[in-house]
Structure 1
Amino acid sequence: MKKDQYVSGRRTVLRGFTAVGLAALTGCAATGRASTPRSAPSSAGASAAPAAGPPAARALGPSAYRLRPIAGHAPQRAAPDKLKARHKPILRMDFEHGERAMVLTFDDGPDPRYTPHILRTLRKHDVRAMFFVCGEMAVDNKDLLREMADDGHLIGNHTWSHPQLNRMTRSRMRPEIERTCEVVHDATGEPPAWFRAPYGAWNRAVFRLGADLGMEPFAWTVDSLDWTTPGTRAVVSRVLGGAAPGVIVLNHDAGGNRAQSVAALRTYLPRLLDDGYRITVPRRRGL
């Protein structure tokens, strides 16, 4: 699929959320944009019961991140250590001695209709993964962020509303990233250490801003294309076909109907483990 079609399709999905009331974050003004949410089908075992409505997109004012505590009473948060900005994102891992290890990543969540099923499958196989969350989804689902952290998964920043950052000014880009840092920090007690640009749209300003906020830029090697809902078998085939040492796999746990993503994980994960792959998560610099 061409990039413009990818962008247009993903934007359409991410804008299809019902506006609901949100507890206001410090320094963040709320606005509502009404649309119709998608319900979860039952074909992959994900419950079709009504989920908590996805949060509304919100106008972002100047972020209070690192300047004052969200609750107003906790000690001021220390600024994260700035990193030297990279010139390109991490596309694959360089494990020692050619180890047969891979990284599974999930974007756009958390979504209470799908994310819990993915977490259960990962827990069943004692596997750690990375979740790149959008702030507008995370803000009303902090319990899922805490569950991820408690299970040893890494939580990365995927902006607030999934915009194409390389078409934005730095002043508009910054609150998109900082707000999500704020939500993750508030939910887990730790700021995110990893950042993924929506659509893989990187530029110098994105790299520098992520590094200023203490985050490494993390991309992918294999795109499962689950966001196109091609069928569970197609997702499984792409992941297994792309499996190799150091590979980073892109999946999604939100942003649309992710029943196929849930079902595919249940199939390909045990096969990867049976084939001798270790599913792991990265360390910081010096990976």
Structure 2
Amino acid sequence: MLKRLKWPSWVLFSIFIAGIYYFISSGTDTSLQAFSRTETTSPAAFPGLNLETRTKETTSYTLAISTPITEFENLNKPMKEWTQTQEKDFLELVKANRQFLDSEEFRAHLNIKAEPKKVSDTMYTLVFEAYQYTGGANGQAAVKTFTIDLANQKMVQLADVIRMDEESLTPLRAMIKNQIGEKEELQDYLFDDLLDEALENPSSWKWSLSGKNFTLYFNEYEIAAGAAGAVKVKIPIEQIRPLLKDEIALHLKLPDIQLPEPEVEEPDAAPLDPNGKYIALTFDDGPHPKVTPLILDILKKHNAKATFYMLGSQAQFYPALASQVAEEGHEIGNHSDSHADLSSLGEKGIRKEMEEASGKIKEASGQFPATIRPPYGAMNEDVKKIAGMAHKPLILWSVDSLDWKTLNASAIQKSVKANAVPGSIVLMHDIHKPTAEALPDLLTYLEKEGYEFITVSQLLSLQEQEVTGTFFGKRQ
């Protein structure tokens, strides 16, 4: 008979602790743990849609994922599954490339944005664009579309929109090919056999619908060489009206003709005293439906002007708030369209983020963004080049309120008070309520210290800076 081994209790305890440590360390990559934030908002321009935005920043990677959410789980499920698959694939690549990432001076990045397009009051197409960069010469891009019918609580398929008989599909394919043929930039890269293959099965098409266009999306390499990037084909809705099913034609009633709203003009700024004590307050990531109005009220009470670095997607979701910011005399800056890490995108991706944001901000507020602030403060030579070509200065900050990290009004006040000097640019965010709670006492304190609150452009003009370049503001 075998004798039962008796182990000292301290040995058994040590093995137990070691086992727990091994289980935790093998299942968790501690170097990937860092600050993350999830926030859900309700875009005023798209009733019935909530937008869940999750951002995360670690030593190895950054990510920003926006997912529209409805009250119907059967609509949410396929959208969540797609974004989760993209994130899972990205994190697996990050782990596979860990040694390379740790040896370089950059981080991997995943950005997923969802742009809604209104078909009708109860029907939207959601265009998801995912971009990931984990090293190498180029990143990977992917597009996925979902069209949802809130009234009937269902996903809309292409067969619900277009008559799927060959009598309808043959002219539609011809329209698509004609549009692609007119894109001169594609002609050296297009593969006709791949295009035919992609158009063969309509059920696999990535499409969106609006009152103006039927749009088809092709992923990078799907129909052309990689140098062409992703391809988007727009067909005016009037051209395909005979191919539309009757129910969709009702959804796409043309709106009444409206007179264009007058552009919002920026008020003339009073001359600044070269010896004055000025500070520039800046607010990133908005407009936010709850926090931005609070901040605007506080700034008005203190007769303070500030600069709001808006996301194009947020300006599109909350156009009335973007317009209010401009109407109250504040400056609006470009903070990208979807909070992507611009340094990971390449020139084409950077230009796309900047131009889309600029267009959406102008449409919502009537004001063209005067300056650019790259998300995370991340920039490289490509970012500087694109900003220089646009003649827009890149603006960072000299005082970080750390409101994104502490989410505490007292801590925010303490950080700014300890570091502010004349000529400082203060980083805050108009998406956190504690930031609004910190402002009244903070502005009162700075006023007692003799500060006046001006926009970033005013500060640059006072310091006689050039039109382009990178600026931080003054530090202690």
> When the two structures are superposed, what TM-score results if normalisation uses the length of structure 1?
0.69
The answer on whether the counterparts of 1:226 and 1:235 sit within 8 Å (CA) in structure 2 is yes
Q: Is the alpha carbon distance of 1:280 and 1:168 closer, same or farther for their aligned partners in structure 2, counting shifts above 3 Å? A: same
CA drift at 1:213: 2.6
1:22 to 92, 95, 116: 116
Matches within 5 A, 1:119-138: 119-138=296-315
- Which residue does 2:448 correspond to in 1? 274
Residue type matched to 1:22 in 2? P
The answer on whether the counterparts of 1:158 and 1:196 sit within 8 Å (CA) in structure 2 is yes
Could you list the runs of 5+ residues in structure 1 that have no partner in the other structure? Answer: 34-57, 65-72, 76-94
CA drift at 1:17: 5.1
CA drift at 1:187: 1.9
1:262 to 432, 436, 443: 436
Q: Is the alpha carbon distance of 1:201 and 1:61 closer, same or farther for their aligned partners in structure 2, counting shifts above 3 Å? A: farther
Specify which structure has the higher proportion of helix: 2
Number of residue equivalences: 227
Q: Is the alpha carbon distance of 1:22 and 1:220 closer, same or farther for their aligned partners in structure 2, counting shifts above 3 Å? A: same
CA drift at 1:74: 10
SS of 1:31 mapped into structure 2: strand
* Alignment partners' CA distance in 2, 1:105 and 1:135: 16
Residue type matched to 1:124 in 2? K
Matches within 5 A, 1:167-206: 167-206=344-383
SS of 1:15 mapped into structure 2: strand
Q: Is the alpha carbon distance of 1:180 and 1:8 closer, same or farther for their aligned partners in structure 2, counting shifts above 3 Å? A: same
* Alignment partners' CA distance in 1, 2:309 and 2:363: 16
Q: Is the alpha carbon distance of 1:61 and 1:239 closer, same or farther for their aligned partners in structure 2, counting shifts above 3 Å? A: farther
SS of 2:426 mapped into structure 1: strand
Question: Kindly, what percent of the aligned residue pairs are identical?
Answer: 32
- Which residue does 2:127 correspond to in 1? 31
* Alignment partners' CA distance in 1, 2:33 and 2:368: 33
Residue type matched to 1:165 in 2? L
CA drift at 1:155: 0.3
Matches within 5 A, 1:1-287: 11-12=55-56, 14-15=64-65, 18-19=68-69, 22-23=116-117, 30-32=126-128, 97-254=274-431, 258-281=432-455, 282-283=457-458, 286-287=464-465
The answer on whether the counterparts of 2:332 and 2:367 sit within 8 Å (CA) in structure 1 is no
Residue type matched to 2:287 in 1? P
SS of 1:211 mapped into structure 2: helix
More moved, 214-223 vs 113-122: 214-223
CA deviations over 1:125-165 (Å, ceiling 9, x no partner): 11100000111211111111111111110000000111111
CA deviations over 1:25-63 (Å, ceiling 9, x no partner): xxxx84259xxxxxxxxxxxxxxxxxxxxxxxx99977x
CA drift at 1:280: 0.7
Specify which structure has the higher proportion of strand: 2
- Which residue does 2:168 correspond to in 1? none
Superposition CA RMSD, Å: 3.3
* Alignment partners' CA distance in 2, 1:17 and 1:237: 35
Residue type matched to 1:183 in 2? K
Q: Is the alpha carbon distance of 1:102 and 1:188 closer, same or farther for their aligned partners in structure 2, counting shifts above 3 Å? A: same
The answer on whether the counterparts of 1:22 and 1:140 sit within 8 Å (CA) in structure 2 is no
Asked which structure has the greater CA Rg, the reply is 2
> When the two structures are superposed, what TM-score results if normalisation uses the length of structure 2?
0.43
* Alignment partners' CA distance in 2, 1:208 and 1:250: 24
* Alignment partners' CA distance in 1, 2:395 and 2:378: 12
The answer on whether the counterparts of 1:193 and 1:214 sit within 8 Å (CA) in structure 2 is no
CA drift at 1:174: 1.5
The answer on whether the counterparts of 1:104 and 1:249 sit within 8 Å (CA) in structure 2 is yes
CA drift at 1:105: 0.1
* Alignment partners' CA distance in 1, 2:339 and 2:35: 10
SS of 1:132 mapped into structure 2: strand
The answer on whether the counterparts of 1:98 and 1:245 sit within 8 Å (CA) in structure 2 is no
* Alignment partners' CA distance in 2, 1:61 and 1:185: 25
SS of 1:244 mapped into structure 2: coil
SS of 1:206 mapped into structure 2: helix
Which structure is higher in RCO with an 8 Å CA cutoff and minimum separation 6? 1
* Alignment partners' CA distance in 2, 1:5 and 1:115: 30
* Alignment partners' CA distance in 1, 2:305 and 2:293: 14
CA deviations over 1:85-123 (Å, ceiling 9, x no partner): xxxxxxxxxx86442110000001111011000000001
- Deviation >3 Å, runs of 4+: 4-10, 16-21, 58-62, 95-98, 283-287
The answer on whether the counterparts of 1:110 and 1:141 sit within 8 Å (CA) in structure 2 is yes
* Alignment partners' CA distance in 1, 2:452 and 2:33: 34
Q: Is the alpha carbon distance of 1:8 and 1:206 closer, same or farther for their aligned partners in structure 2, counting shifts above 3 Å? A: farther
Residue type matched to 2:116 in 1? L
Could you list the runs of 5+ residues in structure 2 that have no partner in the other structure? Answer: 1-31, 38-53, 57-62, 71-114, 119-124, 130-207, 209-216, 218-229, 235-257, 261-271, 466-476
